[in-house]
Amino acid sequence: MAPMDWLGPAEWNALALSLRVSFWATLVSLPPGILVAHALARGNFPGRQLLNGIVHLPLILPPVVTGYLLLLTFGTRGPIGGFLNETFGIVFAFRWTGAALAAGVMAFPLMVRAIRLSIEAVDPKLEQAGATLGASRVWVFLTVTLPLILPGIIAGSILAFAKAMGEFGATITFVSNIPGQTQTVPSAIYAFLQVPGGESSALRLVLISVAVAMTALLVSELVATRVARRIGGR
């Protein structure tokens, strides 16, 4: 039996949507994630603790609250959502892009934490050495810091991806649970469990969730050890 047949169309849609949402959520939050992690690890500016708090907020707040706050700010009538809609025609509310935004926001603190730890592990003396050899701060970051924190970036991305795959509360609050539009795997499992006879569909999605999570974990371990070995120079 081909996987297409094993999964019903609704289940298949949910899985495809979840993968797409998580992929974009991870990819788009990576550059700001590295930037914020670097600022928190190496920066020495007023507002540093405030930034740290804001980044970690989604980890502490109930997801429903985060979802509601997203709806207030990024909804079509919200200050940012309204502006994006009128100026660029970008709509988040009740679209898959909104699901990606919610997943990205929820995964952001995990990603920043992993990358921040790896930046703190880089010896600032190596960055000084780069500067004395003529590299500006940006070049030092690109040629010394970035390659050395690659394992942390990979770990942070996988963690963020896994978190995005499992994100439920903020997503359902912000973009609801529309099959084919915003119904990700967790939302679909929840929906299937609400209707009689939906248990088998729910169970199949649960198995897939477990498989995806395990694969992500294994791949991250594999890549991280490889990169670490290359950096260690053996």
Binding map of other proteins across residues 77-116, x = CB under 8 A, - = no contact: ----------------------------------------
Residue 131 CB partners (closer than 8 Å, separation 6+): 137, 140
Binding map of other proteins across residues 110-129, x = CB under 8 A, - = no contact: -------------x-xx-xx
Q: Which of 35, 133 has the CB closer to other proteins?
A: 133
Where helices occur in 61-149 by DSSP H, the ranges are: 63-74, 79-88, 96-120, 124-132, 137-140, 146-148
| Stretch in the footprint of other proteins (CB under 8 A) among 15-23, 35-43, 97-105, 138-146 | 138-146
User: Which of positions 204-233 make contact with other proteins (CB under 8 A)?
Assistant: 230-233
Task: Return the amino acid letter for 230.
Answer: R
Task: Give the count of alpha carbons within 13 A of 187, CB side only.
Answer: 29
Q: Which of 131, 203, 211, 219 binds other proteins (CB under 8 A)?
A: 131
Residue-wise over 124-155: b if at least 16 C-beta within 10 A, else e?
Answer: eeebeebeeeebeeeebbeebbeebbbbbbbb
User: Which of positions 139-158 make contact with other proteins (CB under 8 A)?
Assistant: 139-140, 143-144, 147-148
Greatest alpha-carbon span in the chain: 69
Interface with other proteins: number of residues (CB under 8 A)? 24
- What residues make contact with other proteins under the rule CB under 8 A? 123, 125-126, 128-137, 139-140, 143-144, 147-148, 230-234
